[in-house]
Structure 1
Amino acid sequence: MYQLENDRLRIEIDAKGAELKTVYSKSFSLDYMWGADPAYWAKTSPVLFPIVGALKGNTYYYEGQLYHLSRHGFARDKAFTVTAQSTDSITFTIESDEDTLQQYPFSFRFSIRYSLIDNELSVSYEVQNKGEGLMFFSVGGHPAFKLPLVEGTHYNDYQLVFEKEETAGRWPISKDGLIEKTPLSLLQQSNVLPLTKELFSKDAVVLKHLQSSWVQLQSDKTPHGFRFYFPNYSFLGLWAAPGADFLCIEPWCGIADSVDTNQQLPQKEGIVQLSTNEAFNVQWRVQFY
């Protein structure tokens, strides 16, 4: 387990999956991350690469060949190597190998950089195409925050407040983990989403192409919460396991297959295209208070 800290925050990261395990505020003596209770969900913040969500039949096609990838891809189960470290940041990296090439026929280098500045955590993803020809991928985060945050409050005491008023439906998820064709009403010229455990009774809330670049978790029962920045992400997922005391806020460059997908990787919704020797960079940030 690797640790990074400043005067305000302390974080811990596991080399397996380069997974963020702990965010502790020294200022408030407060843990913000879900405790990974295996009775509900044994992870805290898996990284999603080289796909986000599920593929139809865990299968896709590329240049006439059939490949299999499980939900969210393989990066979350890989052993990352620390490739850079300073007093305020640490970078973890994996590269393509024989195992990945059987599932995903692209040569890549994938790095995750964690940085602390005052009361803010920044998580940056860099994907490099190390092969010949175009590379197709998705990438995203899946951090789970403890909810309720403080003793004496309840799940329903909290709400998400978006930067801008949104008119956005939630895209239902089929029993196979695929995106249905018609959204359900969720936000109608509103920037407030009250949180309840029932909100996630039918899997994640999937949002597309929001106007907002941040969302804030807050409650009138406590001064504590956080603001989550997700600029340059086309999709946002919100999720909690049934009955669990956490909330995942998931910024995605990519999305699960639709129910009517043709399973061709280059035509997949939200897929990112990267030329030889090019790099793709994206970041999400959280300010804790």
Structure 2
Amino acid sequence: MTTIENDLLRVTIRPQGAELTSIFHKPTATEHLWQADPTIWGWHAPNLFPIVGGLKNDQLHIDGKAYPMKRHGFARQSVFEETESSDSHAILSLRANDETRAVYPYDFECQLIYELTDTTLSVTYRVVNEGGTAMYFSVGAHPAFNVPFNPGEAYTDYVLAFEQDEPLVTHQLSDAGLFSGETRPVPTVQNQLALTEHLFDQDALVFKNLKSRRITLRHKDRNEAVTVSFPDFPHLGIWAKPGAAFVCIEPWLGYADAEGEPTPIEQKEAMQYLAAGDVFMATFTISIG
């Protein structure tokens, strides 16, 4: 387990998936990250690579060959190596190996870079194409935040405040977790989306090409808040298990397949292209307070 901290925050990261397991705010003694109750949802904040979302028939099509690939990719199940750390900084790395090449035939290094500054945690995805040909991939975050923050409060005391007052339209998912082709409006009041126990009855809310690049989870009557800023991520998922005491705010670069015929990786919507030898980086931040 890797720990980074300062006077205000203590953050822990586990080797499996380079996954955040705790964001602890010291002044208020508050744990803000969901603690992965396995009877409800056994993750904290999985990192999604080399795909985001589900694939038709759980298959990724590359150069005319179908490779088995489960939803959200293999990174969250893989063991990352800590390659660098200090009191407030850590880098964890996954390199291509025989196991990854069996399902994803590219040579790569996928790094998660964590950096603490005051009450803000910066999370950077760094992908290096170490092969001799171009590669295609997606990355995404899936952090789950405890709601409510304090005892005696209710889930419905909290709202998600979007940076911009914009109409929200979610792209609906089928029972198989693929886009159905249907959309529906998501009502807000003055750029705020109220959390309710039935908000996610039809699975995640998926927003493509969102104008907002910042969302704040906060109590509707107080200033306590968790803010996720994602300047490098044009797509966003919001999700929770119905009735569970958390909400996921998920910056994405990529998303699920649509219902219909399988799509080759280079034609999948929102995939990232990386030429041989090139480096990709994208950052989001989590701020407490």
Global fold match (TM > 0.5): yes
The amino acid across from 1:40 in the alignment is I
> After superposition, what is the alpha-carbon deviation per residue over 1:111-152, rounded to whole angstroms, capped at 9, x for unaligned?
001111001011110011111111000000000000111112
Equivalence for 2:265 = 265
The amino acid across from 1:264 in the alignment is P
User: Matched residue of 1:128: which SS?
Assistant: strand
Whole-angstrom CA distance in 1 between matches of 2:261 and 2:110: 27
Is this contact kept in 2: 1:160–1:194, CA < 8 A?
A: yes
2:26 is equivalent to residue 42 of structure 1: no
Equivalence for 1:182 = 182
Is this contact kept in 2: 1:234–1:254, CA < 8 A?
A: no
TM-score between the two structures when normalised by the length of structure 1: 0.97
Is this contact kept in 2: 1:168–1:208, CA < 8 A?
A: no
> After superposition, what is the alpha-carbon deviation per residue over 1:54-97, rounded to whole angstroms, capped at 9, x for unaligned?
00110122111111100000000111101111221000001001
Equivalence for 1:52 = 52
Whole-angstrom CA distance in 2 between matches of 1:223 and 1:91: 32
Is this contact kept in 1: 2:214–2:228, CA < 8 A?
A: yes
Cα distance change of structure 1 residues 168 and 223 upon mapping to structure 2, 3 Å threshold = closer
Equivalence for 2:201 = 201
Equivalence for 1:232 = 232
2:128 is equivalent to residue 131 of structure 1: no
Equivalence for 1:220 = 220
Residue 22 of structure 1, CA deviation = 0.5
Whole-angstrom CA distance in 1 between matches of 2:261 and 2:115: 37
Is this contact kept in 1: 2:232–2:284, CA < 8 A?
A: no
2:146 is equivalent to residue 146 of structure 1: yes
Is this contact kept in 2: 1:163–1:214, CA < 8 A?
A: yes
Whole-angstrom CA distance in 2 between matches of 1:262 and 1:188: 35
Is this contact kept in 1: 2:4–2:89, CA < 8 A?
A: yes
Equivalence for 1:172 = 172
Equivalence for 2:87 = 87
Whole-angstrom CA distance in 1 between matches of 2:216 and 2:188: 18
Is this contact kept in 2: 1:136–1:274, CA < 8 A?
A: yes
Whole-angstrom CA distance in 1 between matches of 2:242 and 2:38: 13
Is this contact kept in 1: 2:56–2:262, CA < 8 A?
A: no
The amino acid across from 1:91 in the alignment is I
Structure 2 gaps, min length 5 = none
Whole-angstrom CA distance in 2 between matches of 1:263 and 1:24: 42
User: Matched residue of 1:57: which SS?
Assistant: helix
Residue 260 of structure 1, CA deviation = 3.0
Aligned-residue Cα RMSD (Å) equals: 1.3
Whole-angstrom CA distance in 2 between matches of 1:35 and 1:180: 32
- Percent of residue pairs identical: 37
TM-score between the two structures when normalised by the length of structure 2: 0.97
Whole-angstrom CA distance in 1 between matches of 2:89 and 2:187: 37
User: Matched residue of 2:166: which SS?
Assistant: strand
Residue 234 of structure 1, CA deviation = 2.0
83-92 or 42-51, larger mean C-alpha shift:
83-92
The amino acid across from 1:153 in the alignment is E
Equivalence for 2:242 = 242
The amino acid across from 2:78 in the alignment is K
The amino acid across from 2:119 in the alignment is N
Residue 190 of structure 1, CA deviation = 4.9
Residue 187 of structure 1, CA deviation = 4.4
Equivalence for 1:106 = 106
Structure 1 gaps, min length 5 = none
